[in-house]
Structure 1
């Protein structure tokens, strides 16, 4: 347990965006520069605190830092729990928040009221979901996050955005209802909602109540699977993400990982090897559902003609890969999965921002003609005069380079972090017991590896086709007007992927240690249930 004022930093990622969002409501909407400055300062400060919290979590591992809100001991009071996994998600959230806020300052903050306030409330919900130690407050932060996302998905108006946004709202409201039903069933069976206390009680649930327990867990899992986009629950995701404003879509790439984060934590905490008769519950559904999502995603990637939908289906491929990996039950693969999650999230967020800049210089009619020429070949070749020897403008050259790096990351080709991530996944799948201890490889592992390779191949086909049509054989030849403040977040996110590649060794050390802590949750449980009250107060007897 970390003593002193640093211990209060655990609650700061929730309080800071709440205060910043509320403070901005005091100013008129015309003071956009002031609001953008406050939002950016809050996001940068959030990154600084998240890095400090990551150091705290690493120093206190394998245990966790526990913050008792109201100074009530667990499991009776509300607790915030900081460990390596939650600290990693806080850092990732703050990085994407900075990129989205900077990008929005050029244009999107003026497209509707209270953008920065809603954005900060979204950050509050995300950080709370990553830090909370009980299911009821997970529901509260989940709803805060979703309520803010409803406003952001509709930001900018337009019939396409409103239609996709209303579908998004309806689906997520249904998921919230499932969340509440699942939590109620778990509480009815175990009498607690504290995650650590639940992990202790689940192995001792009476046989006649175990079916009700697993039904509640399954319903709860459905809510998170909707958010993660698992097939057939993820049909809403590509249209909604493609229609959203670019900075909103960039942060939404992380929101999909909230479902992955919760499923990973709860599956290993509640239904790990020490869960008795319920050990491994739901793992097969995650495995086969994840692989089905990968198939759906790679088909969607191949079929996509618009870059927004291409990015949306790439999100599904990423989510499907992570769900299938969690469902394998292979504890050696979790570290590689975390590395893949960070790399893919950064790459997809950068791609969503890049799409806005690239499509700014395109014409809809020209895009339709390009697709027609691709489909019918020579019949339409004479529709456009061939131009030879034209120099590529500097703006297009930079955008093309960013597109190429994004494509390499999403495909998983060397030398960037996408290749390292997929290599780690495949190596762990083929060595489930560790190097030097060969074990039989099940058929599902071969299928999963095949899908990982095929997903990369489908991304290569789609990205190559899109790149040629956009940068090499563009019909309109219009150079988009791009501001430095818009290009900087894209370059910054891609640069972080390069840093992740160069520092893959230290990064994987952190990921592997995080995975080991998740696989042995006893330290987490002890840290939460034995957390001392402030002021040296003795823990109340139970």
Structure 2
């Protein structure tokens, strides 16, 4: 493997970090320069992410993929910090890059002017996300976790306003507590095992004696709570709908990938440390993930039905997505997880497109219009009793409303899992894997099947009701002014979901291979711990 490919692992982290730091030196009035630098950086990261996915998807010898290990400072693992790009991490970096391009393009229309240092914070968020997905070390994971959280604090408050300040006062302390739990869990794990390398942890867990295994599992549980807060599992999800609803549109769309950081870490560590080869610790916490995920689906579905604003509906849709993924991990079934990975990608892009779309639809609407519409549904419109106007037939739908309505219908079908789009393919893959399990199907799996179907029905009802109320129901509707730079990101994200429908076969094969490799942690450990050769030839002796 050439050095260029190896260095490609660290480039998605270093490039946005360096450019974001450089832009701190630029005056805020030099917006065109910052726009050009930020857009070029995000596009470069997208190209790197595509190259990583192509490389790891290339068979290496008798294996299905080519894992890339990058030992920082030329220190061999597990003594040094490593970055690792495999199928899962490369996929997450690609999803982050695509969503980052779309949201940055949308923000360039006007949102970058709503507060200072927007582009620096955005690139730091990108740095933290890419680092969290590519790191192979728990302490480094904490570092990148704090980078993305610090950037998200500023982005949550971007644009100011009472609602955003209130949401920030909840969001910031909750994540500070999660960071404290992260440190406690990491300390316990390091005290027991003497290592924080993820591959090394997977190798050591089966050999732990019983008297120290309990401390390792306690540390893993504390660490899991920290990431379940970020993933939004019920009852730790009370902060999420309000925060996402209060954030400005491009930030709320970018935050669609934030919950997936918690999902990613839980999936990675669960299968590395608590898989079938973990001895007495096998499947530790699986039931908590399974039933907690189902509770989150139920809570999110109820919230979707009860939502009176489009923003909060999007926030509860994030909870439905997180609950589905957590429950899928808890099944410990690789076929279910492959469908869940497909669902992760399509739901992230759809929710991101939805948050961007909501901002366009909401332009020109009166404050409290959703609450007023609900009141009119229940009690009727008093003006209709006073005067009756002749019904107008054949009224033309303005082009902007037609385009926004079409995009809203696409979001509805994708989030609800309606055929034949990618949301349906993902749910069908999970449902068929649950139903076609060998042996008797446990009642809990039937409960998950019912929940997945009901959550889709709840989303369909809520989205249809909201669309009728905002786009097709009113006699008079303010036609929003939509610029091409704002419509393009929404269209691009939805077109990607449509392309995943057309190319569902190759995409699902990638997800299946990813899930199967996750269930073979010994291959991951062998590749990471055996990659002690320096990336760059050392000038002196080995450390």
TM-score w.r.t. length of structure 1: 0.96
- Other-structure match for 1:47: 46
Written as runs of structure 1 = structure 2, the 5 A alignment for 1:56-455 is: 56-59=55-58, 60=60, 61-62=64-65, 64-364=67-367, 366-377=369-380, 381-382=384-385, 388-389=392-393, 390-432=395-437, 438-455=438-455
Q: Secondary structure at the match of 1:66?
A: strand
- Other-structure match for 1:502: 502
- Other-structure match for 2:520: 520
Aligned residue pairs total 536
CA distance in 2 between counterparts of 1:182 and 1:71 reads 28
Residue 455 (structure 1) shift: 0.3
- Once the two structures are superposed, residues 284-334 of structure 1 have per-residue CA deviations (whole angstroms, 9 ceiling, x without a partner) of 000000000001000000000100000000000000000001001112211
CA distance in 1 between counterparts of 2:386 and 2:282 reads 64
CA distance in 1 between counterparts of 2:186 and 2:257 reads 24
CA contact (8 A) 2:206 2:278 kept: yes
- Other-structure match for 2:534: 533
CA contact (8 A) 2:232 2:322 kept: yes
- Other-structure match for 1:10: 9
- Once the two structures are superposed, residues 109-141 of structure 1 have per-residue CA deviations (whole angstroms, 9 ceiling, x without a partner) of 000001011000000000000000010000000
CA distance in 2 between counterparts of 1:443 and 1:365 reads 43
Q: 1:365 to 1:176 in 2, by over 3 A?
A: closer
Q: 1:518 to 1:377 in 2, by over 3 A?
A: same
Residue 537 (structure 1) shift: 7.0
Residue 388 (structure 1) shift: 2.3
Q: 1:443 to 1:354 in 2, by over 3 A?
A: same
Q: What do you get for the CA RMSD once the two structures are aligned? A: 1.8
Q: Secondary structure at the match of 2:204?
A: helix
Stretch moving more, 54-63 or 442-451: 54-63
Stretch moving more, 347-356 or 366-375: 366-375
Residue 220 (structure 1) shift: 0.2
Q: 1:210 to 1:48 in 2, by over 3 A?
A: same
CA distance in 2 between counterparts of 1:467 and 1:332 reads 35
Q: Secondary structure at the match of 2:477?
A: coil
CA contact (8 A) 1:125 1:144 kept: yes
Q: Secondary structure at the match of 1:459?
A: helix
Stretch moving more, 275-284 or 390-399: 390-399
- Once the two structures are superposed, residues 340-373 of structure 1 have per-residue CA deviations (whole angstroms, 9 ceiling, x without a partner) of 0000000000000000000013112543332111
CA contact (8 A) 2:203 2:522 kept: no
Q: Secondary structure at the match of 2:237?
A: coil
- Other-structure match for 1:486: 486
- Other-structure match for 2:471: 471
CA contact (8 A) 2:6 2:535 kept: no
- Once the two structures are superposed, residues 205-258 of structure 1 have per-residue CA deviations (whole angstroms, 9 ceiling, x without a partner) of 111111111110000000000000000000100000000010000110000100
Residue 376 (structure 1) shift: 1.8
Q: 1:30 to 1:439 in 2, by over 3 A?
A: same
CA distance in 1 between counterparts of 2:262 and 2:536 reads 36
CA contact (8 A) 1:411 1:460 kept: yes
Q: Secondary structure at the match of 1:70?
A: helix
CA distance in 1 between counterparts of 2:190 and 2:415 reads 41
CA distance in 2 between counterparts of 1:287 and 1:535 reads 44
CA contact (8 A) 2:3 2:536 kept: no
Stretch moving more, 372-381 or 40-49: 372-381
Q: Which runs of 5+ in 1 are unaligned?
A: 433-437
CA contact (8 A) 2:156 2:251 kept: yes
- Other-structure match for 1:435: none
CA contact (8 A) 1:354 1:403 kept: yes
CA distance in 1 between counterparts of 2:369 and 2:385 reads 14
Q: Secondary structure at the match of 1:39?
A: helix
Q: 1:27 to 1:269 in 2, by over 3 A?
A: same
CA contact (8 A) 2:74 2:538 kept: no
CA contact (8 A) 1:362 1:476 kept: no
